Structure 1
Amino acid sequence: MTASLFDWLNWFCWGLFGLVWILGAFYNSYQAPQVAKKRFRYDWLILAGLAWYLDSRYAPHYLHLFRFSLPWHLPWLAWLGTILLLVSTVFTLWSRWTLGKMWATNAQVKAEHRLVTGGPYRITRHPIYTGILGMILGSAFSLGEAFAVIFVLVLIFFFNRMRLEEKLMVETFGDEYLAYRKRVPKLIPGLKPR
């Protein structure tokens, strides 16, 4: 597989992710139930993070601010990264699809909100975040570029969002969510739930 094919697959996965997110946001803004409670108002952080990622990956070399190459680029690691990117993209989109009209760009409870525990939500309580982190790591390995700084910042951002979302879910669903939280791990499938 050539470097250009790795690039193309990265463009495809991240482009598909972006398209689904944008179309989903527009669709849900008109079709989803009204918001009953809202917790997170910093959507601009998501946009800033996306702009940072795009700058680090796709801006011309003389313009980029945060692009670092790994000291090695092994073909088997590029393949592994590509597989991780593809699987994580499918997992992320499946997670988004499973939420349907309950999905939002920020932590909120909608009128007639229900707790989703099926599909990828049987594997992890925050499968969208799991998938996005897998996509970032997959891109880093497939392209031979160190997204460590971006990964750490996104992870910190996600842990803050997970804390807010979980608090909102406990307030909304009470014992039902607490029981779900005891059964299903927070972020990494297979780990002991906390």
Structure 2
Amino acid sequence: MNAANGSSHHAFLTGFDRRLAGGYIATAPRAFDDPGYNRVAAVPSHAMHPYKMVATLWLAWLISWVIAALWADPVKRRAGLDAEYQYRIVLLVGTLLFFVPAHGFIGRVRLWPPSPTLAWLCVALIAIGLLFTWWARIHLGRLWSGTVTAKIDHHVVDTGPYALVRHPIYTGLLLAILATMVARGTLWAVAGAVLLTIGIVMKARLEERFLHSELGKAYDDYAGRVPMLVPFTQV
């Protein structure tokens, strides 16, 4: 291979061989979170960037969730930091890895390059997951707590999303986390998603033990009817 052919081949592989076609720019596949995505992917240059939409959805959810924490009944009893610190550490490390910026990652760190179609499908799944958490939050009302606690007059809620799973907030979060991981396609996102999943399951199991001790047979009967995290399964 001569120098000229080698140069042309390299240009093709790296996506620099571009052609304008009917107002769109055609090129080799690029990850949706690549800074040049809107310039080189087969989408209109004015289109909304899915990476920005992912970030917007998570930021809007976080801000609204923090504000909604004010809407809760007084706590009667807590599991305590000694019982909670393990899952908190796992969730913290998982969050830090999960949101490592994905721009420009290539090679082994970039495990797969999400296509525009896949990216927007993931955006839709993230929105569904986060909306599901809000449905559960609103349905639970003032019994909600960000930590493992029992409230005054605590009781089993088994309607709405709680008729599908015992921990619907975690179910929605897991869906949004999985979709975000697929959309980002990086080693960091996968590692973060794994740790976040482990942390959420750890917290859910802690809550199970705590609620069993607080609510007794009423919660045991509920747990016998409704799955913990995945609807229509035994999981």
TM-score under structure 2 normalisation? 0.68
The correspondence for 1:133, drawn from 174, 188, 205, is: 174
What is the DSSP-based 3-state SS (H/G/I as helix, E as strand, rest coil) of the residue aligned with 2:101? helix
Give the match's secondary structure for 2:49. helix
Paired with 1:158 and 1:105, the residues of 2 have a C-alpha distance of 12
- 2:98 matches 1:53: yes
Which of residues 45, 53, 62 in structure 2 aligns to 1:9? 53
Which structure carries more helix by proportion? 1
Shift of 1:47: 4.9
**Deviation (angstroms), 1:44:** 5.4
Percent identity of paired positions between Structure 1 and Structure 2: 30
**Which residue type is aligned with residue 158 of structure 2?**
T
TM-superposed CA distance for 1:15, in Å, is: 0.9
- The answer to whether the aligner puts 1:183 opposite 2:228 as a matched pair is no
Give yes or no for contact 2:98–2:193 (8 Å, CA) kept in 1. Answer: no
Report which structure shows greater RCO (CA 8 Å, sep ≥6).
Answer: 1
- Distance in 1 of aligned mates of 2:80 and 2:94: 16
- Aligned CA distance change for structure 1 residues 154 and 143 (closer, same or farther; 3 Å): closer
Q: How large is the Cα RMSD of the aligned pairs? A: 2.7
| Corresponding pairs, count | 183
Residues 166, 157 of structure 1: alpha-carbon distance in 2 compared, 3 angstrom cutoff = same
Deviations along 1:32-60, one digit per CA (max 9) or x if unpaired, are 33212211523853455444433x137x7
Partner letter of residue 53 of structure 1?
Answer: F
Deviations along 1:119-164, one digit per CA (max 9) or x if unpaired, are 1111111111111111111112234445221111112111211111
Superimposed CA distance per residue, residues 46-85 of structure 1 (whole angstroms, 9 cap, x where no aligned partner): 455444433x137x779xxxxx423332343223312211
* Partner SS, residue 135 of structure 1: helix
One-letter amino acid matched to 2:111: L
| Aligned equivalent of 2:138 | 97
> C-alpha distance in 2, partners of 1:150/1:98?
29
Unmatched segments (≥5 aa) in structure 2: 1-31, 39-47
What is the CA-CA distance between 1:19 and the residue it aligns to? 0.9
TM-superposed deviation, 1:184 = 0.9
What's 2:5 paired with? Answer: none
Instruction: State the distance in 1 between where 2:92 and 2:140 align.
Output: 21
* 1:148 equivalent in alignment to 2:190: yes
SS of aligned partner of 1:161: helix
Q: 1:84 to 1:155 in 2, by over 3 A?
A: same
Partners of 2:77 and 2:151 within 8 A in 1 = yes
- Residue by residue, what CA displacement relative to the aligned partner does 1:90-122 show, whole Å, maximum 9, x if unpaired? 111212222221111111001111222121111
1:39 lines up with 2:49 in the alignment: no
- Where does structure 1 lack aligned partners over 5 or more consecutive residues? 63-67
Q: TM-score, length-normalised on structure 1?
A: 0.81
Residue 109 of structure 1 corresponds to 150
CA–CA distance in structure 2, aligned partners of residues 144 and 159 of structure 1 = 23
